[in-house]
Chains A and B, each alone.
Chain A
Amino acid sequence: MRGPALSGVFLLLAGLAAAQEIPFPERRSGRDQMAPETRAMQADDEANPGMLWVLDGADLFARAPTPGAPACAACHEAGALRGVAARYPAWDEAEARPVDLEGRINLCRTRHQGAAPLPREGRDLLALTAYIANQSRGLPIAPPADSRLDPARATGRALFERPLGQLRFSCAGCHDAHWGRHLGAAPIPQGHPNGYPLYRLEWQGLGSLQRRLRNCLAGMRAEPFAPDSPEATALALYLMQRAAPLPVETPAVRP
Chain B
Amino acid sequence: MARALINMPKTAPAGSVIEIKTLISHPMETGYRPGPDGRLRPRDIITEFVCHYDGAEIFRAELSPASAANPYLTFTTLATASGTLRFTWSGDNGFSQSQDVALTVT
Q: Do A and B bind each other?
A: yes
Which residue of the partner chain A has the closest CB to B70?
A49
The reply to whether B7 and A205 contact each other, CB–CB distance below 8 Å, is no
Supposing A52-B23, A52-B25 touch, asked if A201 and B68 sit within 8 A by C-beta, the answer is yes
* Closest A residue to B6 using CB positions: A46
Cβ of A55 < 8 Å from any Cβ of B? yes
Given A56-B3, A204-B28, residue A47 in contact with residue B70 (CB < 8 A):
no
Mark A36-55 against chain B: 1 for CB-CB distance below 8 A, else 0: 00000000001101011001
Q: Is the CB of B7 within 8 A of A52?
A: no
In the complex, which residues of chain A have a beta carbon less than 8 angstroms from the beta carbon of B70? Answer: 49, 52, 204-205
Given A47-B72, A51-B23, A205-B69: 11 more A-B contacts, CB < 8 Å: A46-B7, A47-B21, A47-B23, A49-B25, A51-B5, A52-B3, A52-B5, A52-B25, A201-B68, A204-B28, A204-B70
* A46 and B23 within 8 A (CB): yes
B21 to chain A minimum Cβ distance, whole angstroms, is 5
Taking a contact as CB atoms under 8 Å apart, the answer to whether A46 and B5 are in contact is yes
Q: List 18 A-B contacts (CB under 8 A).
A: A46-B5, A46-B21, A46-B23, A47-B21, A49-B25, A49-B69, A49-B70, A51-B23, A52-B3, A52-B25, A55-B5, A56-B25, A204-B27, A204-B68, A204-B69, A204-B70, A205-B27, A205-B69
Q: Bin chain B's interface residue count.
A: 10 to 19
Q: How large is the interface on A (under 10, 10 to 19, 20 to 34, 35 or more residues)?
A: 10 to 19
* Bound Cα distance from A49 to B27, whole angstroms: 12
- Considering only residues 173-214 of chain A, those with a C-beta below 8 Å from chain B are 201, 204-205
- A49 x B3 contact (CB < 8 A): no
A234 to B28 Cα, complex, angstroms: 36
What 1/0 flags go to A203-244 for Cβ under 8 Å of B? Answer: 011000000000000000000000000000000000000000
Instruction: Give the residue name and chain of the B residue nearest to A48 (CB).
Output: B23
